[in-house]
């Protein structure tokens, strides 16, 4: 099974691209666990909630991975939680860090911030998009993770993402 993670700052089209790729390949994609969790939380989130989100995301991944699809698209992943936690609280839980090391994705698609910001009650940092993009890129490089930067219009992003996925599938 090839795992393709779609990652990057807020409002970069991660969910849109994940859904389009999944449809294109007839493959499953796992939506972001955090969104419905936060919608139903009923209070501002706190640091321990990020570990709960990580566990929920991992449970979704495992349930889908148990079906052994040839290709699996992950709409966000644990790097998102690491960066979110470190920015919001100055640290990240050992659980998230240890699980991130085990994440083992075959490819990360790092989405650039060149799409217009889309307001959303759960989005927090329209003014820090470049800051976060650079942070994601540094983290992926430090992890030694295989990644491709995805930029441009929605159509260009999709085309470049398919090309990157095809390169991984042919290895």
Mean pLDDT by 10 residues, the chain (171 residues): 94 92 95 90 93 96 94 92 95 97 95 82 74 97 97 95 97 85
The pLDDT of residue 121 is 63
> What's the Cα-to-Cα distance from 129 to each of 51, 64, 135, 154, rounded to whole Å?
23, 31, 10, 18
What is the CB-side half-sphere exposure of residue 114 using CA atoms within 13 A? 11
Closest CA to 26 of 75, 67, 71, 62: 71
The pLDDT of residue 171 is 85
89-106 per-position pLDDT tens digit? 999 999 999 999 999 899
Task: Domains for the chain: give ranges and CATH numbers.
Answer: 2-169 (3.40.50.300)
DSSP state, residue 118 = -
The pLDDT of residue 118 is 74
The pLDDT of residue 116 is 75
The reported pTM is: 0.93
């Amino acid at each position: 099974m090839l795992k393709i993670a779609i990652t990057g700052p807020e409002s970069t089209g991660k969910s849109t691209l994940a859904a389009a790729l999944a449809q294109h390949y007839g493959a499953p994609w796992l939506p972001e666990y955090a969104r419905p969790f936060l919608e139903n939380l009923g209070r501002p989130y706190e640091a321990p909630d990020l570990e709960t989100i990580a566990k929920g995301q991992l449970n979704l991944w495992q349930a889908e991975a148990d079906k052994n699809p040839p290709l699996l698209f992950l709409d966000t992943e644990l790097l998102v939680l690491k960066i979110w936690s470190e920015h919001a609280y100055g640290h990240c839980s050992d659980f998230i860090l240890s699980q991130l090391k085990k994440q083992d994705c075959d490819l990360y698609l790092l989405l650039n911030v060149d799409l217009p910001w889309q307001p959303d009650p759960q989005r927090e940092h329209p003014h820090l998009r470049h800051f976060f993009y650079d942070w994601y890129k540094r983290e992926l490089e430090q992890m030694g993770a295989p990644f491709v930067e995805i930029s441009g219009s929605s159509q260009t992003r999709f085309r470049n993402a398919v090309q990157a996925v095809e390169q991984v599938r042919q290895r």
